Amino acid sequence: MMLTRLIATIATLSLLGQVYINLGKEPDLGTTIWNMLRYFTIVVNLLIAVVFIRASVTRRLPGAGLSAALTTYIIVVGSVYHALLARNHPFGTLDFFTDHGLHTIVPILMVIWWASIAHKKGLRWSGPAKWIGVPVGYLIYVMIRGLTGDIYPYFFIDVETLGIVATLMNVAGLALLFYLLGLMLVGVGRVIGR
């Protein structure tokens, strides 16, 4: 349970740190949270914080499907961030620790947690087709926000810059990435589960 609590703590503190940083730019808490919820990183870390706080309090680990789904999401968060979006924040600043908490530390700890602790029994090959509902739902939600005047949080889903066809191709590619990664986790999980 120690690693479960550590993940809950780092995800929560990183989210709170990001709220604090963003309040310096936009002092209204409601607007700050609304603006933060356009980022998949925030949504996934929030899900992880809630699930892992609950697991820490109840001392019951989440089910195999939920654990693998969250691990899939956070692996994509960390990978896409470090491959395409990473920014250099000065070491020692709150920005640095928050950024790496959300995009580096939580993803690494989640993979370790999933491989060593998470339930694997009950993982099904059909699971990843269901798990992609969250990222696809998120992408639809954020594109609707963008079409209604909000900003597009990521350049690869910016309909105004890329056009609808290229954006939908990117969405399909991301859905495929989530699906294939999910299948990989199911395969690994079934092997480890034996």
Interval 83-119: pLDDT, tens? 888 777 777 788 889 999 999 999 999 999 999 999 9
| Percent of the chain topping pLDDT 90 | 74
pLDDT of 26 = 85
pLDDT of 194 = 67
CB neighbour burial string for 131-148, b if at least 16 within 10 angstroms, e if fewer: bbebbbebbeebbebbee
Distance, first Cα to last Cα, the chain: 22
pLDDT of 76 = 95
Look-up of token digits 């550590």 = 6
Helix axis angle for 106-116 and 2-23, nearest 10°, is 160
pLDDT higher at 114 or 147: 114
pLDDT of 140 = 87
**Mean of the per-residue pLDDT values of the chain:** 93
Side-chain-side CA neighbours of residue 108 (13 Å): 7
pLDDT higher at 74 or 159: 74
Average pLDDT (21-33) is 92
- DSSP conformational letter for 124: -
Residue 126 has pLDDT above 90, yes or no: yes
> CA-CA distance, 129 to 59, in Å (whole number)?
29
pLDDT of 189 = 93
Cα 145 versus chain centre, distance: 19
Average pLDDT (140-167) is 90
pLDDT band at 180 (very low <50, low <70, confident <90, very high): very high
pLDDT higher at 194 or 183: 183
Domain ranges of the chain: 2-193
pLDDT of 33 = 94
- DSSP conformational letter for 120: -
> CA-CA distance, 104 to 108, in Å (whole number)?
6
pLDDT of 8 = 97
